Amino acid sequence: MSDHAGRALAVAVAQFAPGADRAANLVEIERLAALAATRGARLVVFPEYSSYFTPEPGWDWQGAAEAIGGRFTEALGAIATRLDVHLVAGMIERLGGDERRVGNTVVAIAPHDGVVARYRKLHLYDAFGQRESEWVAPGDIAPPELFEAGGIRFGLQTCYDARFPEVTRRIVDAGADVVCMPAEWVRGPLKEAHWRVLTTARALENTMYVVAADHAPPVGAGNSMIVDPMGVEIATIGEATDVAVAWVSHERIDAVRRINPALALRRFDVTERISPRQR
């Protein structure tokens, strides 16, 4: 038995490039989850849009969308139960009442229990020449859903949300020790630097772990990583399709917060912004 047992939990980021073949995506998810499990991981985080992805969204996304509880999440549940690991992955969710737009949703799956938390992306990628909101509906602002594995509490957020510090701050305020952040971080000038800086900042300013899983190139920037509460990359994948494993622990969080009690010293809370259209 590892000397980490009872004190820390092994978590993994899994990096691959999902495509338009939903069955092939599930095969790759199962392969990478099994690889992570053999390396000791008890939780594996996969990218945004793991169920289905094309570089240009269109009506095919509606055809690929599924309800939570459908084929994709059922398959994830079977994988999680067989391997005895928690899985976190992004999917295209079918939304009732919207004939055009889908949900960009992250689900957390526990062995034997299925979906234990979900998150719909709050900030859509209407930037750098992209218009995600044409085909994707933003999630409603609601209390963060957390789940527990190995005594560690996990929260969920997605990709472009990393540019909005208040998203992660709400999650740590809800009690999370770790944020799982599936992403499809599109490559481009300076984008790789933005990914690394923003992911590190979200861990550092909240003195928590961030487990960030990106798409492998050529569309994604890669560089999936696990960052600790002091802003240290404790596991990183470059451009390859692979998994990387690191240990997360309350001891590390507590030690960092004794040195840097930023959460206790802050003087501001996060409140929802009301836009003119909501008044």
Catalytic (active site) residue 48: yes
Q: What is the CATH number of domain 9-264?
A: 3.60.110.10
Q: Select from 235, 277, 263, 271 the least CA-distant residue to 15.
A: 235
So what's the pLDDT on residue 249? 98
Q: Is the pLDDT of residue 277 over 50?
A: no
Q: Is the pLDDT of residue 6 over 60?
A: no
Catalytic option among 159, 180, 184, 205: 159
Is the N-terminal amide bond of 189 cis, ω within 30° of 0? Answer: no
Catalytic (active site) residue 159: yes
Pairing state of beta strands 102-110 and 86-93?
antiparallel
Q: How far is CA 125 from CA 60, 96, 130, 273, in A?
A: 19, 22, 6, 18
pTM, full prediction: 0.94
Q: How far is CA 225 from CA 16, 71, 122, 215, 272, in A?
A: 13, 28, 22, 12, 29
- pLDDT mean across residues, the chain: 94
pLDDT band at 5 (very low <50, low <70, confident <90, very high): very low
- The answer to whether 92 and 51 are in contact (CB under 8 A) is yes
Q: Select from 114, 32, 103 the least CA-distant residue to 80.
A: 114
Give the pair of three-digit tokens for residue 80.
């999680």
So what's the pLDDT on residue 278? 41
Catalytic option among 28, 48, 93, 145: 48
Catalytic option among 28, 93, 121, 132: 121
Q: Is the pLDDT of residue 245 over 80?
A: yes
Residues 6+ apart with CB under 8 A from 32: 14, 16, 44, 46, 241, 242, 243
CA 167/CA 156 separation, integer angstroms: 10
Handedness of CA 109, 158, 49, 94 (dihedral sign): positive
Kindly report, residue by residue over 76-98, the tens digit of the pLDDT. Answer: 999 999 999 999 999 999 998 77
Kindly report, residue by residue over 144-179, the tens digit of the pLDDT. Answer: 999 999 999 999 999 999 999 999 999 999 999 999
